[in-house]
Structure 1
């Protein structure tokens, strides 16, 4: 088997682990308690969503691990998974049905996690580190759609806040706190990018807050272009979108969530009723692409909630307009209305990933564009781009 084929098989396995999760048995729980989480290794911080199938308030989990060839695997627990963690000859290992797959390295904690803001808040609670130089800020850990009874059915942002906010000390983030954290995070080696997101709020309140954060980051870092993505709701006044670019955001994200209009209406009642409906989300994305440019606008579809044909139709259409639309595997989040449902099989998601990668390449999206507009640079599509463009150390050594 060629090196390239081996790398693809490793990414395919990553897709399986992402969908199926990690089985934390009692033995694995003991192993993890001996891991230096919060010291050498990075602990999970619930800034926005809980992706583990069972909440674990007060029990630390690692955020993920690296495979032998450097691919980052998420660590989402699910007691029915065939994948688990073991220990063999002084190394942690990934296992499948009790058999060793390969050695793994848990992800090391970034330096800025050891620091606090000037008003005494731990920086890890301001911006989660997604590795590859990417930081992720959830400024608000709740969505006001809850009080209206209009939550998206797959979403558990409010349930996550109820479970973890007090235990982990997660609260509203202020612009100065975010700016101080981003400045220190940007001192870490590698590329740098920040995503700012939160629960659903009225568009003018959201806009004013995002502009304050952009100004604070610019003042703190000295960077006019700080490579930031603002994740916003679809505004009914499309002129608001232009102002985000003027404020200094390099990229914009408007997450349409579903391409099928009728399924969107059923699954995302708040986005349907309070933001002009599906057509306004689509037209907002199209306007944003004209303002920010090709490959500088991102959207997302929750993969597995609608037929694959519909998702691919949306990805293809949006790509033709210069919009990067990811479709991450749906996780039936605990606390959501769809808790304990099933995501499609890993093979379904892998086929989707391969077809999306082809669409992205056909429409001329570069790795730099995917990096700049993404909340994480560690999706399977990012990995495929790394393989195809020789960006992995193992490929550089082979040349």
Structure 2
């Protein structure tokens, strides 16, 4: 297990201080989390970074890779409609670049489940993350901003066929898949896959629960025991998506050029918003609303001390955790690589529903800080 360098207590106190003042209740969460659930929520890209162990009853589990899902599960299991939580503890991931060693590192952060103004909450979370990061003493910080829902609103403005639009939105955080969409190669590959998969065509006509039951029955008849932590419902859903997307068509040259132009936008936030607005298609109501929301969010961030002259709004910026569905941010240091952010966070309003919560109407936003990276005297 690879451990982070320790940092002086006074430095940790300074980094922690903005979070202590944010009115969040202290909480902890189980170290072991269900592997299948994490893969369903965070996406397949996280599989290689999860440290898998045997959980209670022999089921596969993973050491928590961060706190967001763990804290959300804990909050909603209690039936509360709203809550704001502050955590501090160790998270675990397999080291990158093919190593099989686990990294153990300290995270502090806040997760907020609140039904108030989401734009104001977004600004507050970014301001808290910036203040905590800056308290570590580094003078070379920058802020990268992005928004999954901004891309979705842009795609909607193009007035594409619904299946094609849905396919593009799903591809946003998957560079290879998105490149295939823009190059026009995905339709041919997916069509070939569909021809080879009668199961996908069969499941496509069924409700999700029935599709899952059919898949389980087929496994039973064939004597197959699925491995790898994927649940039947998730596997069925992916097969159905393959069958449906083959019928969706593809972008024409002008549409692909517009999407490429959107993804290329990376500038100071106000200038980036102007560029994005200029690319809107004919159905631009949602995009206009999203851009207006971003201008309000930036005003709120500036009012709370975030130096926007150090910020970049990058339209293509996304995160590997698949449950983020709104605005995103990372605080970075020039002394560290872009893959080693000091702080990161964003909005994940859809996560409660994916956890099976259907009766509570609340927003969800949060962030984490890695103190060992924030500390100017540290090597992380």
Q: TM-score, structure 1 length as denominator?
A: 0.26
Higher strand share: 2
Larger-Rg structure: 2
Q: Select the structure with the greater relative contact order (CA < 8 A; seq sep ≥ 6).
A: 2
